[in-house]
Structure 1
Amino acid sequence: MNSAWLLQANSVNLVSAALVCIVLASVLQGAFRGASGSAQRFMLFAAEGIATVISVLAAWKLANALSPALQDWLVAKEIRVPNEEMGFFRQMWYTFVTGVRDFPLLRIGTVFVIVYMLCKTALVRIWMFVALSIGLLGSASGGGRKSWMSSGVGGAIGSLIGCGRALLLIACLFVYTALYPESAFTKYVQASDLYMQGATQVIEPVGGQLLVSRLPVFAKAVGQEFDQILQRKYEVIDARIPNDVAEAAKQITASKEGDEAKARALYQWVGSRVQYDWDKVELYEQKREWKEQTPEQTFATRQGVCIDYSRLYAVMARSIGLDVKVVTGLGYDGQGGYGPHAWNEVYLSDRKEWVPLDSTWLSSGGNWFDPPGFDKTHIRQA
């Protein structure tokens, strides 16, 4: 059943209802705690909010300042993925460390999270120590009967906390609507009068217009870098070069001179020796079961799909000293559309440039080693 239809079918806007419920729940909590307990809770809420803002600003400044130094340090460490069998956690470790070294957003994000957590923890602990020292925080029990005045004051304080919590939800929804302005859920959110009042009167004046203009660009950059990190995972997993694969690559290129001649020989061999595994495709399309396989398995079975062709080519090329990448994106399907695809890029030192090649498509005819207009049939994502 369509979720957008369900949202529209409700006569009461669920976003408005959620905001009202947040405030009412906070009022009831405040009334139950009484004036003293609610005041303490409000101070904690306010202190945490202030600590969060200060920590975010400090982390952002320090992340930008420390990122180059961290990159230089990691480069100096000369971290190399070992040519050996590795377990899952070692693979993830090398993927993460080399990713932090090579990808700027991941590096800045990592430093940001670490600095933010340290800064906020320190600020909250300092505030708690000071508050306890001067008696701002005492023992406030939620049990026992409260006077009407105490409950009323507690409820009033709770309403302030509720408004703060509601604004946090509005801010999260504002980020979503900025990222997905055309979605059905965005239109539903913007149909809430309470949301629109908070968004236009509080969030936008504080920095909403900046978020609207920058968030989509930032999200696209994050998505592109995430694709690169996924490719780095394959590089780490495939760092181990099996002896039989390396020996085959050596024999195939033994009579070739120069990077281009060697790269073309491997392209011809992989494209003509490996058969496309239609059963693997059918298993995924019908049962959503993905049969992961290593380049060594592709070499042994002589079967695979585009990612398997590309990973095998990369391992064979690296074994003879070529610098090569596995690239994912979209490939032209011959029927006016595009579908998920993978291919390679290899660096040719004799030409001093990276060139694309698609060994998977060799069997379909034509030249797919750096042909003119390669980018018209292959849309790169990573």
Structure 2
Amino acid sequence: MSVNLVSLVLVCTVLASVVQGAFRGASGSAQRFVQFAAEGASTVVGVVAAWKLAEALSPALESWLIAKQIAIPNEEIGFFKQMYYTFVTAVRDFPLLRFGTVFVVAYSLCRVTLYRLGMAVAAATGLWSRPSGPGSGRKSWMSSGIGGAIGSLIGVGRALLIIACLFVYTALFPESPFAKYVQASGLYMQGATQVIEPVGGDLLEKRLPVFAEAVGQEFQHILQRKYEVIDARVPDDIAEAAKQIAAGKEDDEAKARALYQWVGTRVQYDWDKVELYETKRIWKEQTPEDTFATRKGVCIDYSRLYAVMARTVGLDVKVVTGLGYDGRGGYGPHAWNEVYLAERGEWVPLDSTWVSSGGNWFDPPGFDKTHIRDA
């Protein structure tokens, strides 16, 4: 008969707490229980307070950052400045990241403040005093028994915390093998159905997956912002070429198509770069300026060069990463672009890397069947 490891971990958590309680004795365990209760209460209250603060302060933070008029400099900047501009502009522009940032800061401050306040009250009322030494002196059987009983309460609390974490995982990934293994544990199911579900099951099971999906989508936008920051400086020769290519084009679509055709036909796919990475795991990083000068690159290089040239002529464009169809029944890592066409009022996809392979890859029907963006 196989033992479910989730059940084993829960049982061991409770037993370990019982042993700790017996070792500490009645007095030490009681004080540890007060400390554990203060930690739990400060965590719960801290989460609620931080959530309310984040709801109230997030709009104010957005307004303040907009008023600061932070612009990505059109010059070459170092790594730490890249990180700074990526984070600050992402906090300004992406609501979930902004809410999460305020929440983490507020929670950290609230939890520490509430815990210290709770322990100060416990100390003032005589419920808790600083231990003189761990395990000092012999404990009577009665003291050890009471300590063990108190330890069991702490153990149950710790086990419920583990169950809550597992409950969140199973809500996010209900079809995963590990989620099914977790749900095969009788102890887990007992704690989840009798405690966790009544308290927050609806929130965790129905709203958390939707929230997590939204976070994942926003994370991809943050990764795209990284390329916007890195490639903010546009060399004069690239800017001049982009303007010449778009000259005489009356609308956004005409400009976007002209640049798509130019990048796709002027840049050659760098198979040597691919082989270097596949055989030696050496990635040759290059800037849009490198791609423009050498006329060689891989999909991410095509996409970054297209984005830089498109922005130069006033187009709003994104670098998109994900998977592309390999023509052999599978998919591999790939990058392409999306450009906003004002006259159509929508974002359209394009893949300048695939121009040389033939066909139309500027917003063709079924683009999403050959391109799967990261989610």
State the alpha-carbon separation in 2 of the partners of residues 211 and 128 from structure 1.
30
C-alpha RMSD of the superposition: 2.2
**1:350 to 1:18, Cα distance in 2 relative to 1, 3 A:** closer
Question: After alignment, is 130-139 or 371-380 more displaced?
Answer: 371-380
Q: Residue deviations 1:174-223, cap 9 Å, x none?
A: 11112222222122222222112111211112122431222222221111
Alignment-derived partner of residue 263 in structure 2: 270
Alignment-derived partner of residue 82 in structure 1: 73
Alignment-derived partner of residue 203 in structure 1: 196
Question: After alignment, is 207-216 or 221-230 more displaced?
Answer: 207-216
Alignment-derived partner of residue 149 in structure 2: 156
Question: After alignment, is 66-75 or 165-174 more displaced?
Answer: 66-75
Question: After alignment, is 305-314 or 186-195 more displaced?
Answer: 186-195
1:378 partnered with 2:357: no
Alignment-derived partner of residue 182 in structure 1: 175
Instruction: Return the offset for 1:224.
Output: 1.0
Conservation of the 8 A alpha-carbon contact between 2:310 and 2:317: yes
Alignment-derived partner of residue 212 in structure 2: 219
State the alpha-carbon separation in 1 of the partners of residues 27 and 320 from structure 2.
61
Conservation of the 8 A alpha-carbon contact between 2:319 and 2:336: yes
Instruction: Give the SS at the match of 1:367.
Output: coil
With normalisation by structure 1, the TM-score equals 0.90
Write the mapping of 1:38-77 to structure 2, written as runs, cut at 5 A: 38-77=29-68
Question: After alignment, is 281-290 or 111-120 more displaced?
Answer: 281-290
Write the mapping of 1:312-327 to structure 2, written as runs, cut at 5 A: 312-327=305-320
Percentage of pairs with the same residue: 80
Letter in 1 for 2:261: Q
Conservation of the 8 A alpha-carbon contact between 2:310 and 2:316: yes
State the alpha-carbon separation in 1 of the partners of residues 341 and 221 from structure 2.
21
Instruction: Return the offset for 1:349.
Output: 4.3
Alignment-derived partner of residue 96 in structure 1: 87
Letter in 1 for 2:4: N
Q: Residue deviations 1:340-361, cap 9 Å, x none?
A: 3222223344555443322111
Alignment-derived partner of residue 292 in structure 1: 285
**1:52 to 1:11, Cα distance in 2 relative to 1, 3 A:** same
Instruction: Return the offset for 1:40.
Output: 0.8
Of 335, 349, 356 in structure 2, the residue corresponding to residue 363 of structure 1 is 356
State the alpha-carbon separation in 2 of the partners of residues 207 and 186 from structure 1.
18
Question: After alignment, is 29-38 or 209-218 more displaced?
Answer: 209-218
State the alpha-carbon separation in 2 of the partners of residues 291 and 200 from structure 1.
52
Instruction: Give the SS at the match of 1:83.
Output: coil
State the alpha-carbon separation in 2 of the partners of residues 212 and 351 from structure 1.
38
- 5+ long unaligned stretches in structure 2: none
Letter in 2 for 1:59: A
Instruction: Give the SS at the match of 1:82.
Output: coil
Q: Residue deviations 1:252-277, cap 9 Å, x none?
A: 33454544443333222211111112
State the alpha-carbon separation in 2 of the partners of residues 348 and 83 from structure 1.
24
Alignment-derived partner of residue 7 in structure 1: none
Instruction: Return the offset for 1:162.
Output: 0.7
Instruction: Return the offset for 1:239.
Output: 0.8
- 5+ long unaligned stretches in structure 1: 1-9
Alignment-derived partner of residue 113 in structure 1: 104
Of 318, 321, 328 in structure 2, the residue corresponding to residue 328 of structure 1 is 321
Letter in 2 for 1:215: L
Instruction: Return the offset for 1:165.
Output: 0.5
Instruction: Return the offset for 1:305.
Output: 1.3
Question: After alignment, is 254-263 or 51-60 more displaced?
Answer: 254-263
Instruction: Return the offset for 1:311.
Output: 0.3
State the alpha-carbon separation in 2 of the partners of residues 349 and 189 from structure 1.
50
With normalisation by structure 2, the TM-score equals 0.92
Instruction: Return the offset for 1:67.
Output: 1.9
Letter in 2 for 1:277: D
Conservation of the 8 A alpha-carbon contact between 2:182 and 2:188: yes
Question: After alignment, is 293-302 or 256-265 more displaced?
Answer: 256-265
Conservation of the 8 A alpha-carbon contact between 2:38 and 2:119: no
State the alpha-carbon separation in 2 of the partners of residues 285 and 212 from structure 1.
41
Q: Residue deviations 1:140-168, cap 9 Å, x none?
A: 33212122221111111111111111111
1:343 partnered with 2:336: yes
Q: Work out the number of aligned pairs and report it.
A: 373
Alignment-derived partner of residue 123 in structure 2: 132
